[in-house]
Structure 1
Amino acid sequence: MDVVSDAISAVRLGRPSSDRVRIGGSWCVRLDPYEGAGFHVVLAGECWLLADGGEPVPLATGDAVLLPHGAGHVLADSPVDKAAAGRALPLEHYRDGRAALAPQPGRGAAPVEMLCGKYRLDRSRVHPLLAELPGVVRLPDGEHGELQAAIDLLGGELDARRPGSSIALPSLLDLLLVYMVRASVAGAAPGSWSAALADPVTAAALQAIHADPAAPWSADRLAAEAGVSRPTLVRRFTPLVGRPPMAYLTWWRLTLAATRLRDTPEPLAAIAARVGYGSPYALSHAFVREFGTTPGRYRATLGTTPV
C-alpha cells in the first residue's frame, strides 16, 4: 500500500452514492454540509459553485470539483452572492427531470448535466494528507488524463446500465476519488504533504512504513531504508510530516488498529499482530493513550462484534 491509498482506505465508509442531474433555465441549488467528501463532474454545459465562506468557482464541461471536507455549498447557472445563495433550493428539486425555475432573460441559456455524489468518511481519524486539502479543489478538463478517462468510463456506464453495473459503478466512483485526491495532492501548495511525497528521503521512509507497518521498525532501520543517517531522516521527515518518524509510525499503527476494530470482527490479538504490537495488552495500552478509551469500548460504540 502507498500513503494516498492508505489515507483513503482508513477513512472511507460504505459505498459512494451519486446522481446524474440535468438542469435547465435559471437555477440555484443548495447542498448542506455532511460527514464525507463531495464531488461534482460537469458532463455538459457550464455552472458555478459557491462553498460556504468561499468565492464563486466557475465550472465548465469536463471539469471536476472535489469538496474533501464535505463543505456546504451552492450550485447555480451563474455567479451567486450570499443573498442569492440564501434562496437556493435543495438539489432534490431538480432530480429525475423535474422542472427547474423559470428562465430569466440572459440566464440559463443551455442546460447543464452533472454527476453529483459523495463519499462517506470517518472524520475521527482523517490522515493529515487529506486534512490539509483545501475546502474546494477544482480539477480543470484536460489537465489530468487519467481522471478524464475515469469520468468517461463513468459517464458511459451511466448512459447504458448494462449487466454488472451495480458493481462497476461503485468501483468507478472509488477510482474517481483516488484520481481526484491524487491530482489534488500533486497540485497542493509547497510545504504540504505533496512536499513530503516529493522528498526522496521522506517518501522512502513513508513507503516503508505503509508497506509493512508491523515490521520491527526503528529510527535507524527507517534511515537505512531511506539511505541516510538517522539525524538526516529526522531532520527532513519531521517538518514535512508534522511529527518524527517513530511518532508517525505509532500514530499510523493505532489508526490501522482503529480501522480494523471498525471494519472487521477480528479479535484483538490478531489486530495487535497485524499492526506491529507484541500482545493485545501492549496494543490496548497504546490505544488508550491515543484514543482515551479501550479497544473493546471503542469497538462496542461501533457495534462490531469480535469472533
Structure 2
Amino acid sequence: MDIVSDVISVVRVGTPGGERVEWRAPWRQDFPDQPGTAGLLVVLHGTCWLIENAAEPTHLAPGDVVFSPHGDGYALADSAATTAAGNEPATASPTTVTLCGGYELSPEWTHPLLRELPGTIHIPARPGHHAGLRAAVEVLGAEVDSRRLGAAALLPVALDMLLLYVLRVWFEAHPRGETATGWAAALAAPDISAALNAMHDDPAHPWTVQELADRARLSRATFSRRFGSLTGQPPLTYLTWWRMTMAARLLREPSSSLDAVAARVGYTSTFAFANAFKRHFRLAPGKYRHQAQARVRPAAIAPATAE
C-alpha cells in the first residue's frame, strides 16, 4: 500500500457518505465549519459559485471537484452576488446538480501530509487532463442515486477512489525541487519516499536510521538531515508516531487483542507497548479502546443540504 492510501485508511473513521443535491435558482447554502470531517463536492450539472471568507469567489462548472480536507466552512450559490439562503421549490427545474460527500476523520490521527493541505483544493474539469479523476467522477455520479444491486457498497469505494485521485493530482502538481520542503516534496523525492515506503510496508520491523538510510541510498547523516528538512521530524520520531497511530486505529477493532496490536506495530512485549502508548496518548491502551469505542459515531454524513 502506498503512503497516501495508507494514511487515508488509518485516519478515516466509519464509512464515507454522499448524496446528490438539486439546486433551483436563486439559491445559496452556507456550510458551517465541521472540524474532524473532510468534504468532497462534485458539480454534476450546471454551474455555481464557491464562496469562502478569505478568498475570491470561485466559479464551478460541470466536472469540477472541490475537496475541503479540514472541514472549513464555505458557501455555495447560484451567483457570487446571492446573499440570502434559499432554494426554490422542487416544482422548478434544477439549475445545478451537485454531489456532496463526507468523511469523518480522527483528529488525533491526522497525518502531517493532510495538515499541510490548503483549506480548499479546487480541481477544474479540463478535457484531456486527469483521466483517472474524471472516470472516478463519472462512476460516483452514476452510483450516488442508483438502486441497482451493489450500489450501497460501491458508493464508499467510489468516494475513496475520488479522494485518492484528488490527492494524487494535488501532490503531483505541488511545487517541488531541490529547495522544496514538506510532504509533497518528501513523497516526490525517490530517496526519502523509499525510506517512508519501507516504514509503511513493514512498521513492525525494528528499523534503525542506518537501515533506512540504506534504503534511501544516502549516508546516515545526509539521510537524517534530508528526512528532517522535508518532513519536519527525525525518521525514528516519525516511525514511532506512525506506529502509535496504527495502534490507535487497531484498538478500535474489538477483535484485536493487545498482544496482536503490539506485534503489528513492532513490540514483542505487551508491557513495553502499553508504556509507549501511554506516553504518546496519555492513556493506557485498554482505557483508550474503551473511550474510543464509546464515542464511535456511525458512517460519516454528507454536509447538510437545503430542502
TM range (shorter): 0.7 to 0.9
Deviations for 1:77-101, whole angstroms, at most 9, x for unmatched residues? 11158xx2xx335xxx67xx7367x
The alignment partner of 1:78 has SS state of coil
Q: 1:155-198: per-residue Cα shift (whole Å, max 9, x none)?
A: 22246431111111121112111111222222334423110011
Matched, 1:30 2:30: yes
Length, aligned pairs only: 287
2:90 equivalent to 1:98 = yes
- Show the 5 A alignment for 1:20-59: 20-34=20-34, 35-59=36-60
Which deviates more from structure 2 when the two are superposed, residues 64-73 or residues 148-157? 148-157
Work out which of the residue numbers 278, 293, 297 in structure 2 matches 1:288. Answer: 278
Q: Which has the higher helix share?
A: 1
Give, in whole Å, the separation in 2 of the partners of 1:299 and 1:5. Answer: 24
Q: 1:169 to 1:67 in 2, by over 3 A?
A: same
- Which residue of structure 2 aligns with residue 77 of structure 1? 78
Where has structure 1 moved over 6 Å in runs of 4 or more?
none
User: Which segment is superposed worse, 1-10 or 132-141?
Assistant: 1-10
In structure 2, the residue matched to 1:88 is 85
Structure 1 pair 207–80 and aligned structure 2 pair: CA distance change class (3 A): farther
Aligned to 2:62: 61
2:250 maps to 260
- 1:162 maps to 148
Distance 1:263 1:179 in 2: 28
Cα distance between partner residues in 2 of 1:215 and 1:27? 55
Q: Distance in 1 between matches of 2:229 and 2:57?
A: 33
Match of 1:104 in 2: none
Query: For 1:8 and 1:99, how far apart are their aligned partners in 2?
Result: 40
- Determine whether 1:210 maps to 2:207: no
Give the SS at the match of 1:147.
helix
CA contact (8 A) 2:50 2:76 kept: yes
Distance 2:175 2:273 in 1: 36
Matches of 1:264 and 1:177, distance apart in 2? 28
In the alignment, does 2:119 pair up with 1:135?
yes
Provide the C-alpha distance between the structure 1 equivalents of 2:38 and 2:293, rounded to a whole number of angstroms: 24
Shift of the alpha carbon at 1:110?
A: 7.8
How far apart, in 2, do the equivalents of 1:264 and 1:234 lie?
Answer: 38
Alignment check: 8 A CA contact 1:15 1:170 kept: yes
Q: Separation in 2 of the partners of 1:52 and 1:295?
A: 41
CA distance in 2, matches of 1:60, 1:270: 49
Query: Where does residue 298 of structure 2 map in the other structure?
Result: none
- Structure 2, unmatched stretches of 5+, are 295-307
Q: TM-score, normalised by structure 2?
A: 0.88
Larger RCO of the pair (alpha carbons < 8 Å, separation 6+): 2
Unaligned runs of 5+ in 1: 101-108
Match of 1:176 among 154, 162, 173: 162
* Partner Cα distance (1:110, 1:16) in 2: 26
Superposed CA deviations along residues 127-170 of structure 1, whole A, max 9, x for unmatched, are 01111100000011123211110111122224643111111112
Matched letter for residue 190 of structure 2:
P
Paired amino acid for 1:272: A
Q: 1:251 to 1:18 in 2, by over 3 A?
A: same
With structure 1 as the length reference, what TM-score do the two structures score?
A: 0.88
Query: Counterparts of 1:302 and 1:181 in 2: how far apart (Å)?
Result: 28
Structure 1 residues 99 and 123, CA gap change in structure 2 (3 angstroms): farther
For the 8 Å contact 2:20–2:145, the answer to whether it is kept is no
* Equivalent-residue separation in structure 1 for 2:210 and 2:28 (angstroms): 57
The partner residue of 1:302 within 279, 284, 292 is 292
Q: CA separation in 2, counterparts of 1:50 and 1:7?
A: 29
Q: Is the 8 A contact 1:214 1:274 kept in 2?
A: yes
Query: Aligned in 2, Cα 1:126/1:99: closer, same or farther, shift over 3 Å?
Result: farther
